[in-house]
Amino acid sequence: MSFKGKLRLVGETDIGKVREHNEDTIAVDSEIGLLVVADGMGGYNAGEVASGIAVKTIVNLVQESVGREDLRVNDPATGMSRSSIILRDAIHRANKIIYQTSRTQPQCEGMGTTVVSALFFDNKMAIAHVGDSRLYRLRNDKFEQVTMDHSLLQELVDRGFYSAEEAQRATNKNYVTRALGVEPNVEVEVQEVPVQKGDFYILCSDGLSDMVEDDDIHLTISTFGANLDTVAKQLIQLSNDNGGRDNISVVMAHVLEAFPASKGILERILGWLG
């Protein structure tokens, strides 16, 4: 289906104030409603190699699949839609390629990357992520984090050692418990959420979420939401104003209109008969 006039998508990435290289990679595909942010790690330039492999693999595999599959169909075994399965499988494939590359190329040894991805379909969004790159939603002036970090800090919050407010101020935020390329296999967290007209979605690397408070992200979207490019640029500016200690990536979507999947001829006939 076409998302023209229904979704507004933008993406911005910035090196920040401290790092020598930008090891983040982003992708925005307005044709198929795909958003991806990957935050690479590793020595030399290996982090950007890992994030680049992740994003390229996910985009290529999803583009191939979307053209030939009905994204609404649910898998009988898991109950997941094809959209979610396509995203999950693409991330698994990316993990294998990054892992093999890190084992065979000495300059890439130890590289890895986090990833967060979203695919719109039939008034829904499939989300798949690994690590601490995040997806937020702003709906009816309520701003919330949709994904949960795969990090040591989040585990400590889950176990009651930190409150969410204390975690926001903690210094040991960057120890991730899952990443692509570290092991031969990785557990990908997948979920599906309903999408409403007027929603804003933001995918970001921790270069944003570590530098800018959630309340300030919310305020920035509320203030500049009429122009999504301005929102993304303002968020990167805020991160740099607060120290810019890491690469900063922001990918955003604004839902302008509903996008129900078009019904097949059989569904239409059954609807008439019903």
Q: What is the pLDDT of residues 137-179, one digit of tens each?
A: 999 999 999 999 988 877 776 777 777 766 666 655 668 899 9
197 pLDDT above the threshold of 50: yes
Distance spanning both ends of the chain, measured CA to CA: 25
Partnered with residue 45 across adjacent β-strands are none
Q: Is the dihedral of CA 222, 134, 257, 194 positive or negative?
A: negative
**Which tokens go with 228?**
């999504």
Nearest CA among 191, 190, 157 for reference residue 173: 157
AA letter at 252: M
- The secondary structure element, H or E, covering residue 10 is strand 7-14
Domains and CATH numbers, the chain: 7-273 (3.60.40.10)
Supply the pLDDT for residue 159. Answer: 77
Q: Is the dihedral of CA 33, 45, 238, 165 positive or negative?
A: positive
Cα gap 158→179, rounded to integer Å: 19
What does pTM read for this prediction? 0.91
Q: What is the pLDDT of residues 11-23, one digit of tens each?
A: 999 999 999 999 9
- In which residue are the tokens 């530098």 written? 211
Cα gap 87→190, rounded to integer Å: 8
**Which tokens go with 168?**
């926001």
Residue 48 contacts residue 249 (beta carbons within 8 Å): no
Say which residue, 263 or 192, is predicted with more confidence. Answer: 192
Residue 182 contacts residue 160 (beta carbons within 8 Å): no
